Amino acid sequence: MDNPRKNPMSRNAALTLAASIAGLGLLFVFEATFDPFTMQIFKLCAINVILALSLNLINGFTGLFSLGHAGFMAVGAYTCAILAMTPAQKTANFILQPIVPWLADVHLPFLPALLIAGLFAGFIGWLLGVVALRLRDDYLAIATLGFSEIIRVVLTNAQPITNGSLGLKGLPRYTTMWWAWGAAIAVTVFLVLLIRSSYGRAFKSIRDNEIAAEAMGIDVFGMKVLSFTISSFLAGIAGGLLAHYLTTIDPKQFIFLKTFDILLIVVLGGVGSITGSIVAAIAVTLSMEVLRFLDGPLNLGFMVTQGIPGLRMVFFSALLMIVVIFRQQGLMGTSEFSWDALARIGLLPRRGAKPGTGIE
């Protein structure tokens, strides 16, 4: 049984290695050829990949309908920004009231600031999880949505810490392409390993049948809290990257509509598919830019519009409706990319199974 497998396995390993090298090469090429504006979009793709993956971990793999993602991003973004700003920048930003003394002189390099941002968001996620994960389905969605709004209100009003509604400006532009894509790749690898492990199976069993999972000895509540905490941690990391990508943050960016942007990606890609989330995150981020012409003046032949801001969002609304009606499982459903699947649909030569040694 194991022997005939060996050959295609090593072929798959070789293909994976080749694809990784090609991917890395592409990143170098992009960095060298693209203008700064295009690079910005490209970096945003990576941040959205992390966000989509982290939301998919709770919504897709653990089956918890959570809508609090904007809140965790906000926690991560603010934590990272405050830790990484120089004392001079803080003085310049906090014009209403100076920043609280214990934060005034903190100035960390990007990596520790980002990690602390993730850990803090994870801690907040754990706190919320312990309380809110006693709820299910719609009730959980409402509780997490409310929580995310609370975070925003706190950020608006805690002026001595967050600079309130003025936001934080002039953050160092730390999020280079290497940071963004490095983090996205690390998060992808981590999630693939997590989902394939025994813990991943436990998460999926909760999604499929909570009562049976509990009866099979899975500590359902503990597992939900774990999944929620990991997801918040990753959302915090993405938030930190976003802060130093935009270089300006304010509480209004983290309204609950931000959560729905990510939910759109997860639903389009397939609830419960890592591949789907990655593909959809990139496709949606790019389309947001490509479709920007829809917002400007349009010449439709029979009439000319003066430009309707927000028209491109109508495209996504329509797309979402079409997907929900005709293909509820999204792009990928719960399947994942694999070389064998490519071979099955004829995009790769089938592996040369000798007669009598084939699997299945």
| Contact positions vs other proteins (CB under 8 A) | 190, 193-194, 197-199, 201-202, 204-205, 207-209, 211-221, 226, 272, 334, 360
290/9 Cα distance (integer angstroms): 39
Min CB(335)–other proteins separation in Å: 10
Min CB(200)–other proteins separation in Å: 8
Contact in structure between 315 and 291 (CB atoms under 8 Å): yes
Query: Nearer Cβ to other proteins, position 91 or 209?
Result: 209
Min CB(194)–other proteins separation in Å: 5
Lookup: tokens for 259? 């959560």
Query: Nearer Cβ to other proteins, position 3 or 198?
Result: 198
Min CB(187)–other proteins separation in Å: 12
Query: Nearer Cβ to other proteins, position 218 or 298?
Result: 218
- Rg of the chain in Å (alpha carbons): 22
DSSP tag of 310: T
Contact in structure between 243 and 78 (CB atoms under 8 Å): yes
230/151 Cα distance (integer angstroms): 19
Query: Nearer Cβ to other proteins, position 101 or 217?
Result: 217
Contact in structure between 104 and 166 (CB atoms under 8 Å): no
Contact in structure between 282 and 49 (CB atoms under 8 Å): yes
Query: Nearer Cβ to other proteins, position 30 or 199?
Result: 199
Going 204 to 207 to 208 to 209, the CA torsion angle's sign is positive
Min CB(223)–other proteins separation in Å: 9
Query: Nearer Cβ to other proteins, position 169 or 204?
Result: 204
Min CB(205)–other proteins separation in Å: 4
Place of tokens 């060996």: 6
